[in-house]
């Protein structure tokens, strides 16, 4: 998905006009670095959804360019709130689920190449809570429907 909203300031006679450029970019992680570098060099603020690559390098590129960006693997506010709550719980109650086993099943659109950032974040929280888990064990199922997403977490002792 690529959406571009153009915007800039200019004065025509005595009136000030505002034009805004905001790029919204949801891409495969193999393309994010080149695109982000381009946006930063051009000074274009952007929103990017990606789950792969070197996020620290991406954040550094944006910070060094003094550009504005929102970079997140998940844009749904309820999911973001859930992951934030999991992070709080993991930080406040480390080891609380020691001795438990974790199984993860998630659905994707047919073109998705990797485990979602949401699943990775939730698994990282459970690891802080004392559950060991190998990320390669995530079971992914693929649907032809673009808007269907399921993340199933089973925690058992």
Q: State pLDDT tens for residues 2-61.
A: 443 444 444 444 444 444 555 665 666 667 777 888 888 888 888 887 766 777 888 888
Q: What is the pLDDT of residues 97-146, one digit of tens each?
A: 999 888 888 876 666 667 777 888 889 999 999 999 888 888 877 665 55
79 and 151, same domain (yes or no): yes
Residues belonging to the active site: 108, 112
59 and 88, same domain (yes or no): no
150 and 118, same domain (yes or no): yes
User: What confidence category does residue 89 fall into, taking pLDDT thresholds of 50, 70 and 90?
Assistant: very high
**pTM (2 d.p.):** 0.62
84 and 67, same domain (yes or no): no
Residue 34, token pair as written in the block? 């080149």
Residue 125 lies in a domain: yes
Residue 3 lies in a domain: no
Instruction: Specify the number of domains making up the chain.
Output: 2
Nearest CA-CA partner of 129 in 89, 102, 157 = 89
Q: Bridge partners of 11?
A: 16
Domain that holds residue 57: 23-71
Nearest CA-CA partner of 50 in 65, 31, 37 = 31
- 77-92 vs 117-128: helix crossing angle, rounded to 10: 20
143 and 107, same domain (yes or no): yes
Residue 52 lies in a domain: yes
Distance between CA atoms of residues 30 and 54, nearest Å? 10
């Amino acid at each position: 998905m690529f959406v571009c909203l153009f915007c800039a300031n200019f004065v025509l006679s005595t009136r000030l006009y505002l034009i805004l450029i905001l790029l919204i970019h949801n891409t495969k992680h193999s393309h994010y670095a080149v695109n982000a570098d381009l946006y930063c060099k051009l000074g274009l603020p952007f929103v990017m959804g990606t789950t792969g690559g070197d996020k620290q390098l991406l954040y550094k590129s944006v910070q060094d360019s003094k550009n504005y960006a929102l970079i997140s693997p998940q844009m749904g506010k309820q999911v973001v709130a859930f992951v934030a709550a999991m992070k709080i719980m993991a930080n406040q109650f480390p080891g609380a689920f020691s001795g438990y086993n974790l199984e993860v099943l998630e659905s994707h659109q047919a073109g998705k190449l990797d485990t979602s950032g949401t699943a990775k974040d939730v698994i990282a929280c459970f690891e802080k809570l004392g559950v060991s888990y190998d990320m390669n064990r995530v079971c992914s199922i693929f649907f032809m429907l673009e808007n269907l997403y399921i993340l199933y977490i089973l925690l058992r002792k």
